[in-house]
Structure 1
Amino acid sequence: MNISDSQTPAIIGYVTPWSAHAGQHLAFKISSRGSRTFTATIVRIDSCDPNPNGPGMKLVPVDAQLNDIYAGQEQPVFPGSCAYGAIPVLKDIPRITLDLTVQPTLEDASLQTLVALQNQDGTHGIAITLTHGELGFQSLATGEQINTGVSVAVDLWTSLRISIDRDGHVQTISSGTNASEETFRNTARTKVLFSLAAFDSTTVCFAASWKGHPVQAFNGFIESPALWGASNESYDGQSQDSLLAHWDFRPTLDHGCVANRVDSDTPLVLVNTPMRAVRSSGWTGRELDWKHAPDEYQAIRFHADDLSDCDWQTSIDFRVPADMPSGVYGLRVDNGEGVDTIPFYVTVASEGKHARIAFLAPTLTYLAYANNARGNFSGALAARVNAWEAYPHNPDVVTTFGASTYNYHSDGSGISLSSRLRPILTMRPGYLTFMDEHGSGLRHFSADSHLTNWLREKGFEFDVVTDEDLDDRGVDALRHYDVVLTGSHPEYHTRRMLDAIVAYRSVGGSLMYLGGNGFYWKIGRAASAPHLLEIRRAEAGMRVWESQPGEYYNQLDGEYGGMWRRNGLPPQKVAGVGFTAEGNFRGSYYRRAPVSFTPEYAWLFAGVKADAGDALGNFGLSGGGAAGFEIDQTASDLGTPAYVQVVAYSDDHDSSFVTVPEELLFNRMVGKPRVHSGIRAHMICGFGPSGGGLFAAGSICFLGSLYSAGYDNDVSQIVENCLRRFLIVSEASRDMT
């Protein structure tokens, strides 16, 4: 059914793709309640912080060729994954038999469909269902339900062989191993008068009924099913049946469909991207890579709340004008009942005119956290949103558009896939994540506007490069820039992205990593599904759920998942520092290290008031201090280059901060001893052999301290000193070349 409620925004939308350069098109998909007409304007998004004590919301109108008014359309959302497609003609077959092995993962009072044999629009046919763990049959025409008394246990594999004849005789053979590890084989016979509808079917749908969208979706695993047809009336075995269809649920890198082994011209279409590369009933544990033993992974895991594509109609097709500068923008739509601002990015074509500075927008991290329901939107936070006139919608309340990879499916399993083809509430100007008593409580998209606003206030021209640009183009996306700046939390990356950053630095490019817990998780992406991100939370790391053994390899690209630290590219090798500790959203301060007073590094602190031992950055809009929440350290054994030095380190973090698990062994820390060790962030700086500079703040809260005293503060001064020096060094290197 269509998922919507009274909390769904009056107008909301999404855009695909997220970025474009001059001459390219962006498709905006808008849902307007009641199909009300709406107006649209373009704004440049400089600041997303609604805090009255901060820089304020800065959405600058941009002159663009848009219509005065647009026709509105209320567009529904239909969650639930399934697989559907054509089946052979059954009208001359007296009996059909369906073989499938299933493992439900949620015993639900509502009806879940294992498989439907139906006409194309689902108005006629028969569904094989589960209710409270009992197998049943439902008429799709009338809704009549017949229960069989056959139990199908949650979290256990059950093989089902279901035979249906034209006279309504249905035989179900169920077999498997129960919770007491006893094998069973049961036979049940049922009279189903509406079973004749199955023989008029033209379509099969697994894990739901199909009515142009999934209905009564299933939570659980289904293994490669088969459909047989018989030429006689007996039930005496497979030998008298002919194989009509056998659908291959083994994982492949074709993400949109499932092959039919009998007829390659009739594959099943996958809807809302169910989870593949999962263990099936024959998994032995001897092989952990699905590519090496595909027969042990011949199941698909479906969820009733999967949502990878809202599939809305395009409301506005926007062609980026040739004179539109690179930057962070938004389409602001208003239908009189509500307003929405849909962010997008304007980039620069490879052959275009580039600025010297690039902001590397961590859009794939935004996607990993998209619609993260934290369970904290009530009381003080809700009151602050109202008082500050911040973005009013929160995923705790608005559940229509799916959740994040930090949340769980309704069956309790972790969400491993996230899509940008849906409205993303957490990626809106003015969105508040935390009730921050010491600041604004911003994270991700909103928090990164602390940097973009600072750049504009300081007069630095910059372009935007998105994570997707970096993954698609590799180092070519960065090669035009003298300095690349990151956001506050660039956490999720593919190998191509990290290789590009390392390659950029190796040829003299300068990197300023201005956040914390960056370059941490390895993700999967596929060119055939660029809207999707996949995370398998393997082995270790700070994680809210963990992947099952044998399910550490991605379905999208077939690569091993988990932390980059376990994949040969620790964060220290990419940006000099890596995740070491985490606590509450509370910022502390830095102290200057002795080396910072030497001539080699004193330039970085020119104009900074903090002397040796003084607190530096004990202020800010993110937790009240520059060093906090998630913090990073150097580690020579993990790849920190020898040419950087720890120029400052954080101090006095509160008792909520703990060392992350991958840093700990039974009785000691992993790796070699470090300078300024313990619960501390490391600020580093240095110049590589090719002339490029490397700076890292080692803290998620760092950018929140740029604004204090109208940008006249120590943190702002350090960032400005660093950026200007890196630009000078780059210019000198280029002149020498």
Structure 2
Amino acid sequence: MATTQYPVRPDLRIDEDEITGYVDPWVVSPGETADVKISSTRPNLKYQTVRLLQGLDTPHAPAPAKEVLEKGPKGDLKGRFQSSYPGSYGRVDAWTNAPVLGRAEGLEIELYVQPWMLDAQYPQAILSTLDPKKAAGVAILLDTHNNLVFWIGTSSGVETVKLSFPVRQQRWFHLRLTVRGRTVNVDVTHLPADNEIAPSPTTLTTSLKSSAKLESGSALLFAASLAAAPDTASHRAVHFFNGRLDAPVFRALARATWEIAKYDFSVGIDTDEIFDVSGSGLNGILVNAPTRAVRGHDYDHKLIGIPWKDAKYGFGAIHFHDDDLDDAAWATDFQITVPEDARSGAYAVEVWDPESGLKDSVVFYVRPKQVRPNARVAFVFSTFTYLAYGNEHMYDETKSTHISFPEGVQLVTSENYYKMLRRTDLGLAIYDLHSDGSGVVYSTAKRPLLNMRPDYIHWGFQRPREFSADLLMVGFLESLLGDGYDVLTDHDLHLRGAAALAAYDVVISGSHPEYPSMESLDAYEGFLRRGGHLMYTGGNGFYWRSVTDPKRPHRMEVRRADVGARTHELPAGERYHSLNGQLGGLWRSLGRAPNLIWGIGSCASGKGPGRPFLPTPEALNNPSLAWFWKGLDEKSKKRLGEQGLAGGASGDELDRLDTAIGTPTNAILLARSERHDDHFMLFNEELIFPMIGTLGSTSPLVRSDMVYYESNSGGAVFSVGSINWNNSLAWDGYKNDIATVTENVLREFLARAERTRNV
């Protein structure tokens, strides 16, 4: 029979040379082994492993520095292009081991469906057991014209049945398909949405040319198919569904009807498993992390405020997307076994093509293996933030999630930027929307993170940001302390808690530690309560709650609520994380404002050039703070941090003190910025009513506050409230007043800890 040849989403192809890759796992300990996965359009490569001591190579910035890992792998490598295959689906391989339909006269399938993408460019498979080669099994799809299409295997080939019905985007319908011999019955019933009028039911009864062959011996797939067309098999899943599925049930029809499988997606929400609750044991797995803990077909307003873990109903849906990616699953090119004596730090596998000069630095992290008495300082790389921004698409002005500036986006292009533009197969950031318009809640480290590179310059802010900015602090510590510091990551604090910081006297944050988990905040607070000293040398820190699962540390989840600087938000009922059931949102809204630990909290952001800090007379004239101003000339005591790679030291995203939400009353305002331009604006959580005076030139709340306070346990906190700090710290090779102040604080904190030990 003639069949329609539906298009299958093509594998990625690129038209420019490139090298990229990732290391799995990306945070390792000395003695552990990690897989290195490289993609290259060039055939002959060389590689070596280095410890990164600082990045960049721009005017007024320190030259890049690295240390070749002598015991690490190096040599020649055969390049090959590797692509990822996004798209989430459920897979039940056990279906192949339960040939129950051979004894049945027919099959009944029912489930609830909520489409989120209409008029798609390819059919969207709701579920499938179809094997086109055997002409056996069934596939249910939503075609490119929003009709329900059924591909049904028969004794004479795969036949197609089509049903037109009034499909509604983001609205539930119940579908029942019955196939018995040659007879096919379809019933579609639309569920009402609050007070909205629902369409009338749609039914269809038709006959196949031949009797159905329902036993295919293939796996059951939800939200995808292994059939590219009725007569064409695919070796990987295709035709991904964009939307939600709920409560699928499969029944065998004979003299007595029995359940083959009944899936309850509300079971095991915090896992990657789907469970058959019929007793047949036909359990399955989820591939590429579709979104769980979302509202199902029976969610109602009685569930408001009830977490999914406590709900008796309402959360039996899974939201699948054609652009979900949890594991790029590239082939391994070689392995790295980190030497037992390797120092902690950020490392990279440097890969290059000698012929073209094309290169990449594939970053990974090595944690300390043991306590080193001379390492009294720890610097924490903000790996949760790197995941949150990983491969973000906020440069795309065709999307609602793009960054808006008064004069529009002025792109600073680079090879890293062009890779993000080209490599659409490498997954999304939690700042992005899925192709169906729903918000992204997961990010994964099992893929190249193209903006986590030592030479990364942000395409919009036109400066080092996130990882590349944090390397500037590493360079400062390396020049000041030599090997007298260790490097940790957000993941270490999350997984080990306060124990990860127990060996140190001073802990320094990254430049943009925006996404702490409860566990990592507990680690910082536990450190401070034991008399530790904290330095928060960044901005927009400790802002959104994130979670990760110790069993899947590569995956981070963020559930945004209806306040905060955000590109999207989730509706009520969907703000509880699927990985652990905890409520998401701003830490400020959850009752743990960053001010409680750090003395300051996020208030504003802007792209414009940074401003200097203006020291306060009270702090300048306070004899007990003489150590802080040591080495500064009179000019710096009036305007501190006038220069930097992004203008003044106060810029990008800003934090200020606010005793009403937790700043300790004994916090001392050392300095603050003023007169930011109208590229800067207040965050919306700072506004109550009326919403005027929100820009830098009109609001005195748009500022950075540099604060210091002593804790009740003998420790202390120094916070600067600016992402720009490191960009000024590195100016002229760390020979500047911001570097002087940072050194003063660090040496004072170390000296106090030493005195305490000697008492």
Same fold (TM over 0.5): yes
Could you say what secondary structure the match of 2:468 adopts? Answer: helix
Report the Cα distance in structure 1 between the residues aligned to 2:731 and 2:11, rounded to whole angstroms.
43
Whether the 8 Å CA contact 1:41–1:64 is kept in 2: the answer is no
Question: Deviation at 1:435?
Answer: 4.7
Instruction: State whether residues 135 and 158 of structure 2, in contact with CA within 8 Å, keep that contact through their aligned partners in structure 1.
Output: no
Match of 2:128 in 1: 116
Deviation at 1:463, TM superposition (A): 0.8
Q: What's 2:212 paired with? A: 196
Which residue does 1:673 correspond to in 2? none
- Matching of residue 156 in structure 1 with residue 178 in structure 2: no
1:606 aligns with 2:630: yes
1-10 or 645-654, larger mean C-alpha shift = 1-10
Contact 1:376 1:396 in 2 (8 A): no
Q: Do 1:330 and 1:343's aligned partners in 2 also have CA atoms closer than 8 Å? A: yes
Give the aligned partner of residue 506 of structure 2.
483
Pair 1:137-2:156 in alignment: no
Query: 1:109 corresponds to which letter in structure 2?
Result: Q
Matching residue of 2:453: 428
Q: Which moved more, 1:486-495 or 1:174-183?
A: 174-183
Indicate the SS of the match to 2:494: helix
The 2-side partners of 1:723 and 1:535 are apart by: 33
Distance 2:524 2:324 in 1: 33
Query: How far does the alpha carbon of each residue in 1:578-621 deviate from its partner, in whole angstroms, 9 at most, with x for none?
Result: 01112224311110012221111122111222459832212111
Query: Would you say the 8 A contact 1:475–1:501 is kept in 2?
Result: yes
Instruction: Give the structure 2 partner of residue 241 of structure 1.
Output: 257
Which of 43, 53, 64 does residue 50 from structure 2 map onto? 43
1:257 corresponds, among 273, 282, 289, to 273
Determine whether 1:274 maps to 2:290.
Answer: yes
- Measured after TM superposition, the shift of residue 264 of structure 1 is 5.8
1:346 pairs with 2:366: yes
Deviation at 1:707?
Answer: 2.2
Match of 1:405 in 2: 430
- 2:128 is paired with a residue whose SS is strand
Indicate yes or no: 2:228 matched with 1:228. no
Deviations 1:303-357 (A, max 9, x none): 0100011122332221111222122110112356643211111221245666111
Q: Distance in 2 between matches of 1:341 and 1:140?
A: 50
Instruction: After TM superposition, list the pairs within 5 Å mapping 1:716-727 onto structure 2.
Output: 716-727=739-750
SS at match of 1:55: coil
Counterpart secondary structure, 1:454: helix
Mapped partners of 2:649, 2:540: distance in 1: 14
- Deviation track 1:546-585 (CA, whole Å, cap 9, x = no partner) reads 0111111110010000011122211011211101112224
Q: Closer, same or farther in 2 for the Cα pair 1:583/1:368, shift >3 Å?
A: same
CA distance in 1, matches of 2:722, 2:139: 54
Tell me the alpha carbon deviations over residues 521-545 of structure 1, each in whole angstroms, 9 at most, x when there is no partner. Answer: 1112112221111111013111110
Give the whole-Å Cα distance in 1 for the aligned partners of 2:422 and 2:271.
Answer: 31
Q: Cα gap change, 1:711/1:528 in structure 2, threshold over 3 Å: closer, same or farther? A: closer
Within 1, Cα distance between the matches of 2:422 and 2:597? 38
Matched AA of 1:601? L
Please say if 1:396 is aligned against 2:415: no
CA drift of 1:67 comes to 5.3
Contact 2:270 2:578 (C-alpha < 8 Å) held by counterparts? no
Moved more, 625-634 or 49-58: 49-58
Report which stretch shifted further, 10-19 or 398-407.
Answer: 10-19
What is aligned with 1:707? 730
The 1-side partners of 2:420 and 2:649 are apart by: 28
- Taking structure 1 as reference, are residues 353 and 325 closer, same or farther at Cα in structure 2, changes over 3 Å only? farther
1:536 matched residue in structure 2: 559
> CA 1:482–1:81 in 2, change beyond 3 Å: closer, same or farther?
same
- Equivalent-residue separation in structure 2 for 1:530 and 1:194 (angstroms): 51
Match in the other structure for 2:402 = none
Name the CA distance, whole Å, in 2 between partners of 1:204 and 1:694: 56
Counterpart contact for 1:81–1:214, Cα < 8 Å = no
Matched letter for residue 110 of structure 1 = Y
Q: Structure 2 CA distance, aligned partners of 1:585 and 1:124?
A: 62
Sequence identity percentage: 33
Matched, 1:359 2:393: no
Structure 2 SS opposite 1:694: strand
Amino acid in the other structure paired with 2:390: A
Give the equivalent residue in structure 1 for 2:331. 313
* 2:464 equivalent to 1:442: yes
Counterpart residue type for residue 166 of structure 1: G
* 1-structure distance, mates of 2:49, 2:240: 39
Deviation at 1:400, TM superposition (A): 1.6
Say if 1:24 and 1:334 are closer, same or farther in 2 by CA, change over 3 A: same
Question: Residues 296-307 of structure 1: matches in 2 within 5 Å?
Answer: 296-307=314-325
Aligned-partner Cα distance in 2 for 1:318–1:93: 54
Residue equivalent to 1:79: 86
Letter in structure 2 aligned against 1:101: Y
Which of 701, 711, 732 does residue 688 from structure 1 map onto?
Answer: 711
1:205 positional shift: 0.5
Deviations 1:649-707 (A, max 9, x none): 011101232222222222499xxxxxx96222100113323332210001111111012
- Is 1:172 paired with 2:189? no
The CA distance in 1 between the partners of 2:77 and 2:134, in whole Å, is 33
In 1: Cα distance, 2:210 partner to 2:16 partner: 39
Q: Is this contact kept in 2: 1:32–1:335, CA < 8 A? A: no
Partner Cα separation in structure 1 for residue 408 and residue 582 of structure 2: 43
Q: Secondary structure at the match of 1:586?
A: coil
Q: C-alpha separation between the residues in 2 aligned to 1:120 and 1:306? A: 26
- Residue 468 of structure 1 is matched in structure 2 by 491
In the other structure, the counterpart of 1:236 is: none
Q: 1:52 to 1:589 in 2, by over 3 A?
A: closer
Of 411-420 and 578-587, more deviation after overlay is shown by: 578-587
> Counterpart of 1:564 in 2: which secondary structure?
coil
In 2: Cα distance, 1:329 partner to 1:123 partner: 52
Distance 1:586 1:509, change over 3 A: same
Quote the Cα distance in structure 1 between the aligned partners of 2:338 and 2:545. Answer: 32
Taking the aligned partners of 1:663 and 1:264, their CA distance within structure 2 comes to 54
- State the distance in 1 between where 2:127 and 2:345 align: 48
Distance in 2 (alpha carbons) for counterparts of 1:462 and 1:522: 28
Partner SS state of residue 172, structure 1: strand
CA distance in structure 2 between the aligned counterparts of 1:718 and 1:477, rounded to whole angstroms: 27
- Measure, in 1, the Cα distance between the counterparts of 2:386 and 2:140: 39
Write the distance in 2 (CA, Å) between the matches of 1:564 and 1:194: 61
Unmatched tracts of structure 1, length 5 or more: 233-239, 670-675
Distance 1:264 1:695, change over 3 A: farther
**1:270-318 per-position Cα deviation (integer Å, ceiling 9, x unaligned):** 0001101101121112223112224211110000100011122332221
User: Whole-Å Cα distance in 1 between the matches of residues 618 and 132 of structure 2?
Assistant: 72
Give distance in 1, aligned partners of 2:158 and 2:445: 35
Kept in 2, the 8 Å contact 1:250–1:294? The answer is no
The residue that corresponds to 2:403 in the other structure is none
User: Any idea what the Cα deviations from partners look like across 1:359-404, whole Å, max 9, x if unmatched?
Assistant: 1110011001100112269999998545xxx646442332120110
Contact 2:290–2:324 (Cα < 8 Å) also in 1: yes
TM-score (norm 2): 0.88
Secondary structure of 2:313 counterpart:
helix
8 Å CA contact 2:48, 2:74 repeated in 1: no
Q: Tell whether the 8 Å contact from 1:150 to 1:188 is kept in structure 2 after alignment.
A: no
TM-score, length-scaled by structure 1: 0.91
Structure 1 window deviating more from structure 2 (532-541 vs 654-663): it is 654-663
Deviations 1:629-662 (A, max 9, x none): 2111112232222332010001110123222222
Aligned residues of 2:395 and 2:459 also touching (Cα < 8 A): no
Superposed CA RMSD: 2.8
**Structure 2: which amino acid aligns with 1:327?**
G
Q: 1:317 to 1:629 in 2, by over 3 A?
A: same
